[in-house]
Structure 1
Amino acid sequence: MRARQLSRWTAGLVAVAAVGTTTACGSPPETSGTVPTDRNRPVGTERAADEKAAEKAALKAYDGYLTASRAASRHSDPQHPDLTRFLADPLLTRVRLSLRQARANGAVSAGALRSNPEVISVDLTAKPPTVEIQDCVDATGYRLVYVADEKVVPGTRGTRHLATATATRYPDGRWLISTGSAHQDQPC
């Protein structure tokens, strides 16, 4: 019974901590044709600039999310202050739950994750606006270890797999990562 519980929470923590870390798959979003709004600036150019700014802000939020979740995981700290700077619900709650479970079982993360995310779509007309990010997570050097003896928690062998995340722009203008999934059945 304990082994089954350990397996569930370790897989969950590794997946949550590793949601978003390597080479992305997909193609860049397409832009529509241009319709001039004045003699010097077509509408498509303005939209493309807005989309580029959204991509940049979303990737910055994603990088902050990865950095904050790694820092929180090193101490299994569900109240790490940077989590709320870069994450929003429902992902924030999921990450905090995994960190609580790791802490309750006396485990913390060790090692490194590699990431090279890529934006696969931008929807600035959505309510709220969103940016979809795809990543190939390399968690082969990432493990959970017990604090007491620094032994590796069984079942935390990392893999290279696809991960996806959604960045959402909130009314205050911040881009936060609101959803994320590790697709461990999809190697990359």
Structure 2
Amino acid sequence: MLVLLLTGCAGGGAEGASDAKPSGGVPSTTAAAAPETPLSSAPLATPAPGAAGHAEAEVLEAYRLMAAEYEKAYRAASAEGTNLGRYMMPAASGEVEKDLARMAGQGAAMRGELVHDPEVTALAATAQPPTATVRDCVDASGWQTLDTTTGWRIPRSDDRLSRYVATARMELTPGGRWKATAYTVDEKRSC
């Protein structure tokens, strides 16, 4: 049943994303995925010993939901109208917001879609608080930077790879929700 739930959630994303000049609003394609993900609306239980597979699935689901909000923010070059705070601790979301402010100041936003292949590489389900590390091989070949003043695509620099590693450190909060305490993207490290 869990496989069916995760398969059903994988259909969300950036369908219908266009290269048109942004209107200033946040695209609704990513926001529509939230109602289809029941794990995002209910607190997640603290994993019991021996329930590592269940905890791993919860970590991956929280990571996927965070990644969807991350993409939504970068499409608008703003965290406004996103739920980044629901899936990221303040320090992690603050770093994203700094980058978004830099992009907005340069008149840039993102279009297209990122393809994720995350895996839990470490899980301390019995630690207090429980923690996990997610390593994601991100395919950004369909993810383009757009100049919001002209509507033109900005070419990718030669030193940025189209497939790179992103790493999230996750923690189970007292409210029972997995959140990223740190999120790093290494566009110079291939996967």
**TM-score, normalised by the number of residues in structure 1:** 0.69
Identity fraction in percent: 29
Aligned to 1:152: 153
Contact residue 161 and residue 187 of structure 2 kept, 8 A: no
Deviation at 1:120, TM superposition (A): 1.1
For residue 179 of structure 2, the aligned residue among 176, 184, 187 is 176
Distance across 2 between alignment mates of 1:158 and 1:64: 24
Aligned to 1:65: 66
Deviation at 1:154, TM superposition (A): 4.8
1:186 aligns with 2:185: no
Deviations 1:12-33 (A, max 9, x none): xxxxxxxxxxxxxxxxxxxxxx
For residue 162 of structure 1, the aligned residue among 157, 161, 165 is 165
Distance across 2 between alignment mates of 1:158 and 1:149: 25
RMSD: 1.8
1:171 maps to a residue whose letter is P
Distance across 2 between alignment mates of 1:94 and 1:78: 11
Say which structure is richer in strand.
Answer: 1
Deviation at 1:160, TM superposition (A): 0.7
- Which range moved further: 160-169 or 146-155? 146-155
Deviation at 1:165, TM superposition (A): 0.9
Deviation at 1:80, TM superposition (A): 2.9
Aligned to 1:48: 50
Q: Secondary structure at the match of 1:131?
A: strand
Distance across 1 between alignment mates of 2:57 and 2:166: 19
Deviation at 1:173, TM superposition (A): 0.9
Distance across 1 between alignment mates of 2:92 and 2:118: 18
1:147 maps to a residue whose letter is T
Contact residue 121 and residue 135 of structure 2 kept, 8 A: yes
- Which range moved further: 146-155 or 164-173? 146-155
Deviations 1:94-121 (A, max 9, x none): 1111111111221110111111111111
Q: How does 1:1-188 map to 2 (within 5 A)?
A: 47-49=49-51, 51-155=52-156, 158-188=161-191
Q: Between Structure 1 and Structure 2, whose CA radius of gyration is higher?
A: 1
Larger RCO, structures 1/2 (Cα 8 Å, 6+ apart): 1
Structure 1 residue runs without a partner (length 5+): 1-45
Distance across 2 between alignment mates of 1:95 and 1:127: 26
Structure 2 residue runs without a partner (length 5+): 1-47
1:115 maps to a residue whose letter is H
Aligned to 1:20: none
1:61 maps to a residue whose letter is A
Distance across 2 between alignment mates of 1:158 and 1:113: 13
